[in-house]
Amino acid sequence: MIYAIGIGPGSFETMTYEAVKAIENSEVIVGYKTYINLIVDMIKDKEVISNGMMQEIDRVKKAVEISKTGKTVAVISSGDAGVYGMAGLVLELAEGEEVKIISGVTASTAAAAVLGAPLMHDFCHISLSDLMTPLDLIYKRVELAAECDFVICLYNPRSNGRPDYLKKSIELMKKHKQGTTPVGIVRNVSRNNQEVNICTLDTIDYEIVDMLSIVIIGNKSSYIDNNKIITRRGYENKR
Ligand SMILES: C[S@@+](CC[C@H](N)C(=O)[O-])C[C@H]1O[C@@H](n2cnc3c(N)ncnc32)[C@H](O)[C@@H]1O
């Protein structure tokens, strides 16, 4: 039996009860070492297999191997296992082993709660990582999402190897969104060192954004009030 578990954005409080129970039920925990560190208190004396980033296939193959010996194994993702996480790969490589996906609180909704209520209307998730997606397709999605007035959540927004993709994405968005559109940047959501910045498309400071950050860009109905971002859902029109 293999669990693919989303452990939430970081704190124990943002982990679902189902995730906690699944970790308790597992005999072996497999995951990227940064995420294992987030749940180290819960692991106790369980067997742990952790390795680095970009070794996802090896990690899942190992989990399948362990499951075949009759042990219950947990493959850990941050946030939700099915949002840029390990759930898909576990299902693809399971070779007939039973798989249970345990959903978690993803970075966008955790950050939205910190920022106010920016996701009150249609929104989308776009990852700016071009490790597995061609860059021109990423930029096309960014521009079309902006043209359709989606609230846009950018995952993997900026790294040392990709310092300019966020700036280019914001430039594409500004073809369709006003410079005054609210932007929320949350770094380390739900972790001890959480940092929050509310700005606009015109005033965004790219230097404060890294791979531990998520960036949420509002739509035409979004505004900033009392240091919170609110996206109107349209109740006033209904009335
Ligand atoms: C490979 S994706 C994993 C997403 C994860 N499965 C989820 O549902 O949140 C990694 C990206 O998620 C975002 N992220 C994940 N956890 C975060 C957190 N606690 N604070 C801010 N951003 C986070 C960042 O944009 C990061 O670069």
Residue ranges and CATH numbers for the domains of the chain are: 2-105 (3.40.1010.10), 108-231 (3.30.950.10)
User: Around Cβ 34, how many Cβ atoms within 10 Å?
Assistant: 12
DSSP state of 238: H
Between CA 77 and CA 140 the distance in angstroms is: 28
Distances (CA, A) of 165 to 41, 129, 152, 199: 37, 9, 15, 18
Q: Is 4 helix (H, G, I), strand (E, B) or coil?
A: strand
Residue 179 CA to ligand 1 centre (angstroms):
26
pLDDT at 190: 95
**Which of 78, 162, 190 has most ligand 1 atoms within 8 Å of CB, for mutation?**
78
pLDDT at 54: 63
Between CA 220 and CA 36 the distance in angstroms is: 40
Greatest alpha-carbon span in the chain: 61
pLDDT at 53: 63
Contact 231, 120 (CB under 8 A): yes
Query: H or E element: which one contains 101?
Result: strand 99-102
Q: Model confidence over 35-57: pLDDT tens digits?
A: 898 899 899 889 999 876 668 99
Residue nearest to atom 15 of ligand 1 (CA): 107
Q: Is 239 helix (H, G, I), strand (E, B) or coil?
A: coil
Adjacent-strand bridge partners of 49:
30
Give Cβ neighbours of residue 224 (< 8 Å, ≥ 6 apart). 182, 198, 200, 230
Q: Measured from the CB, is residue 189 less than 6 Å from ligand 1?
A: yes
Contact 109, 214 (CB under 8 A): no
CA atoms within 13 A on the CB side of 34: 12
DSSP state of 206: G
Atom of ligand 1 lying closest to residue 10 CA: 19
What residues of the chain score a pLDDT lower than 50? none
Query: H or E element: which one contains 93?
Result: helix 87-93
The alpha carbon of 202 is separated from its chain's Cα centroid by a whole number of angstroms, namely 25
Q: Measured from the CB, is residue 31 less than 6 Å from ligand 1?
A: no
pLDDT at 27: 97
Between CA 173 and CA 51 the distance in angstroms is: 37
Q: Measured from the CB, is residue 85 less than 6 Å from ligand 1?
A: yes
